[in-house]
Structure 1
Amino acid sequence: MVKKAASKEKRLMSVTRDLQFEEKVKYSFGGETYSSLRENDFMDASRFPFTDFAINTDKASYSNIRRFLNMGTAVPPDAVRIEEMLNYFNLEHRAPDNGDVFRIETKLSDCPWKPGNQLFFIKASAKKLDLESIPPSNLVFLIDVSGSMDMPNRLPLLKSAFKLMVNNLRAIDTVSIVVYGGTVGVWMTPTSGAEKEKIHKSIEELYPGGSTAGESGILSAYRLAQSQFIPNGNNRVILATDGDFNVGQTSEEDLERLIIQQRQKGIYLTCLGVGMGNYKDSKLEVLAKKGNGNFSYIDDEKEAEKVLVKELTQTMYSVADDALMHVHFRPEALKSYRLIGFDNKYAAISDTSSILEGGEVGSGHTLMAIFELELKDTTHTSSLAIGDVEVSYKLPGDSISRKLIEKITVTPEQFTSLPPTYQFASGVALFGSLLKESRFTKNCSWQKVYTIVHPVIKPDDYLQAEFLTLLEKAKKIYYKGKPSRLRSSSMR
């Protein structure tokens, strides 16, 4: 009975305790699907001093946004997840002390887009695993080879991506390949990471065709992963697809039930999304988050290299599971607060059985949470007791819940005096808010984003430089009034 009840629960990204929300409508964009999101409101700190949210390593939203802007089109508002946009960038990792899993840092400054308000930053850096002692991996590449993958930015891109990843595997790592499309089956039996030529050849010989029997492929991959299970190792299925599951179980609810059953076996799930037009972001997000895993969108070979080579340990090796951040604000210090990003699905809000479920945090990952605050006294120049921050998590393979608690006392700083990382993160958050057409930043301009980030851009940081290029593209696209037409035409 317990398992049956749990299978119906929907996953919340954040929750303000004791607050109830209403159900809303859904958005879609052409043949692509995105989970409808409800932006977090300002909360009265005296009535709702506690707020909690899930933390993870997901980065898919930013590269998907980049794909739309590079095509010269506006971004579907529900494709914008600000916490994933912040996850995408290097936020200057600082190693935790004394063997802790997390290091917490906080800052408080004036809000550049709302005079009189403040921004409260919580930066959490996860510990880095020692590359020499990373446990052996049991990896199953679950690759969609259906007919819809027969495009240059789908299967050929994934083949290049997996070959890049294989180059970094060790002899103690094991790789298997399961395919699904016209047929479902084991394409390559478990093979040592040392046999790179054999693995490359198997990947190169993949060809597309047929329907997408997603359910059967997932079950087959998990069975194979379980047969090669490494106790205390990194056991993971890596699903690569455009998410167009058109045979077998197709609804998000069905996929949730399937993955919940499989994750009990101690096998992680990483989802790599590709493609456009029929890309199913909503389904891949469900799979990753219900499967104790993470989610990336690969739009080109540079992104493949970033996710599967440069950030391999972040993507593939967890240091914390079921990770949640809990913030207790002190009502005597502030009137209200708004969590930027970490927005919930409308369906989860309206479901009384919904729960807040933690995420997976990868090795060496640094995340940033930003709150917009209305303080009771804006003249503070000395230290201010904002509240308490707690991170709860479990170690991989462990059922014991652990906690790191920090009492937060911060000294307000001028925004321009903040470290460049914090200023840049604020610009990214505002960029996402404008893409979402947020009612909280409706009086802001794209030029304001430029004013925030341009002084702190690192000339040798390719991703930050690219951000400026995307900002310029967004300014031209949205100046033409496309987002309003997009919103009205995408309602279903």
Structure 2
Amino acid sequence: MKPYLLVCIFVCFAFPSFSQYFLRGEIKDEKGRQLERAKILLVSKGNMPFYSGNFGAFGILCPYPQDTITVFYDGYEVYKKAVNTKVFNEIILKMLPETASLYANKLSSRTTNLEDNSESYFATLGESYSSLIENQFVNAKQYPETGFSLNIDKASYSNIRRFINNGMYVPSNAVRIEEMLNYFDLRGLDFQKPRDSSSFSAAFTITNCPWNNNNFLLFVQLQAPKINLDNIPPNNLVLLIDISGSMDHPAKLPLLQSAFKLLIENLRAEDKVSIVTYGGGVHVALSTTSGNNKQKINNIIDSLYADGDTPGENAIRTAYSIAKANFIPNGNNRIILATDGDFNVGQTTEQELENLVTFQKQSGIFLTCLGVGMGNYKDSKLEILAKKGNGNFAYIDNIHEAEKILIQE
């Protein structure tokens, strides 16, 4: 047999992987919403991530006609299934129960016996936000009883201001009433003080409605008892800081460094602080240190720089381990998670992460979430974690907002 013929036969049998196939499809949820920026892994590509594009569509070159796909998306169950490149693959993700509860009943207020309006959804630039339902005009004679709640989320008004400042479109229903109440500084108003430490004070005023002479406006003033800051319990704080590559932006890690230094300034000798970072690995940047050793703490904060991936699963487990080891009975035992929202959970599903946070809450260790940045910010995910962790949640976009959240409040 001629030598060149042997070479051709060898090439044909030895290198079949040169064939390329095109895997295509789209990713949606159970209600038909197309999910952008869903993370996609293929068995044939190892740990190389791909992401769905506009309208949830994706197209990936792969070496085999069949492959196994795994899809991750914040707030949804992990999807894993064999796929075929010969067909268009429609992938439907199922909401986690906690996410579904955010989408249901997202009323600014709830009126007794009034049917819910249809829900709305707000997402932009790969960012995700829990939905909101707004009541339309309600006839008070027919439905005289309405209630509203004050929740832990102080992030929404800051987010809306951020969108406006950047010239981005904001739907009219993007801010919840209770979050606006949480956000604004009402110290200039003459509120009545509660009679004792276990009650609220309440006052109201009825005025004319400027845009409709047939209606009136009811202004309600509520005030809870104020906390005596001289007698607050000692703090056991673990700062869990995202220092992955995506945090390399003036409005992300540098802003957080300035913000945490403001917080450190208010710590006392009886307070304890630890710092855990995740970015290219998980590191205990600062072991437990007394709050009066401010220079040492600030030096560690100043030394942080952004680099690497986001191993969030191990980071949050490490933070809880440190908080537990330094637990203060009857104290404020709290993890403060600061991230731009790209909070990978590693091999743990999002549901398992939520279960972990819920379990730790029962032991008296709470979770506060601080969000920064734009583009991949997951407001809805941080809100869920903060609620599961019995903490609060805020968005920081400048040093004045940081002072408001970490010092004044």
- Is 2:175 the partner of 1:80? yes
Q: CA deviation at 1:279?
A: 1.2
Deviation of residue 195 (structure 1)?
0.5
Deviations 1:147-167 (CA, angstroms, capped at 9, x unpaired): 111111100110110011101
The verdict on how the C-alpha distance between 1:58 and 1:197 changes in structure 2, with shifts beyond 3 A counting, is same
- Residues 244 and 278 in structure 1, CA contact (< 8 A), matched pair in contact too: yes
Higher radius of gyration, 1 or 2:
2
- Residue 6 of structure 1 and its aligned partner are, at CA, apart by 9.0
Q: How does 1:277-316 map to 2 (within 5 A)?
A: 277-309=375-407, 311=408, 314=409
TM (normalized to structure 2)?
Answer: 0.67
User: What is the SS of the residue equivalent to 2:202?
Assistant: strand
Task: State the shift of 1:101 in Å.
Answer: 4.5
Instruction: For 1:201-350, list aligned pairs within 5 A.
Output: 201-248=299-346, 255-309=353-407, 311=408, 314=409
- In structure 1, list runs of 5 or more residues that go unmatched: 315-492
Instruction: Go from structure 1 to structure 2 and tell me whether the alpha carbon gap of 1:102 and 1:22 turns closer, same or farther (over 3 Å shift).
Output: closer
Measured after TM superposition, the shift of residue 24 of structure 1 is 4.5
Question: Higher mean Cα deviation, 183-192 or 109-118?
Answer: 109-118
Query: Within 1, Cα distance between the matches of 2:300 and 2:269?
Result: 17
In structure 2, the residue matched to 1:63 is 158
Q: Deviations over 1:1-51 (max 9, x none)?
A: xxxx99788255554445554764633111211112111234455665544
SS across alignment from 1:303: helix
**Sequence identity percentage:** 56
Matched, 1:28 2:119: no
**Distance (whole Å) between structure 2 residues aligned to residue 290 and residue 95 of structure 1:** 32
- What's 2:269 paired with? 171
The C-alpha deviation readout for 1:259-279, integer Å capped at 9, x for no partner, is 322222222222111001111
CA distance in structure 2 between the aligned counterparts of 1:203 and 1:294, rounded to whole angstroms = 23
> What letter is aligned with 1:90?
D
Q: Is the 8 A contact 1:35 1:78 kept in 2?
A: no
CA distance in 1, matches of 2:314, 2:192: 42
**What is the CA–CA distance in structure 2 between the aligned matches of 1:111 and 1:287, rounded to whole Å?**
40
CA deviation after TM superposition for structure 1 residue 255, in Å: 4.9
Match of 2:204 among 106, 110, 116: 106
Q: Secondary structure at the match of 1:97?
A: coil
Work out whether residues 267 and 292 of structure 2, in 8 Å CA contact, stay in contact via their aligned partners in 1.
yes
Name which of 208, 231, 234 aligns with 1:136.
Answer: 234
Distance 1:63 1:22, change over 3 A: closer
Residue in structure 1 matched with residue 9 of structure 2 by the alignment: none
The 3 A distance-change label for structure 1 pair 273 and 113 is farther
- Seen in structure 2, the aligned counterparts of structure 1 residues 149 and 78 have a Cα distance that, compared at 3 Å, is farther
Distance, in Å, in 2 between the alignment partners of 1:67 and 1:216 is 31
Contact 2:120-2:133 within 8 A present in 1 as well: no
One-letter amino acid matched to 1:151: H
Alignment root-mean-square deviation, CA: 2.8
Deviation at 1:250, TM superposition (A): 8.7
Give the match for residue 186 of structure 2.
91
* Other-structure match for 1:10: 101
Q: Distance in 2 between matches of 1:255 and 1:261?
A: 10
Change (3 A) 1:263 1:202: same
Determine the C-alpha separation between the residues in 2 that align with 1:54 and 1:290. 17
Aligned partners of 1:145 and 1:27: how far apart in 2? Answer: 28
Report SS of the residue matched to 2:223: strand
How far apart, in 2, do the equivalents of 1:50 and 1:252 lie? 38
Match for residue 124 of structure 1? 222
Distance 2:212 2:313 in 1: 48
Q: TM-score, normalised by structure 1?
A: 0.57
Match of 1:146 in 2: 244
Amino acid corresponding to residue 91 of structure 1 in structure 2 = L
Q: How many residues align?
A: 307
Aligned mates of 1:17, 1:194 — CA distance in 2: 52
1:136–1:234 Cα contact (<8 Å) kept? yes
Provide structure 2 residue ranges, at least 5 long, that are not aligned to the other structure.
1-95
Letter in 1 for 2:372: V
Distance 2:114 2:268 in 1: 49
What is the distance in 1 between the residues matched to 2:130 and 2:339? 18
User: Which structure exhibits the higher relative contact order, with contacts defined as CA atoms closer than 8 Å and separated by 6 or more residues?
Assistant: 1
Q: Secondary structure at the match of 2:258?
A: helix
2:133 to 32, 38, 59: 38
SS at match of 1:36: strand
**CA distance in structure 1 between the aligned counterparts of 2:351 and 2:172, rounded to whole angstroms:** 23
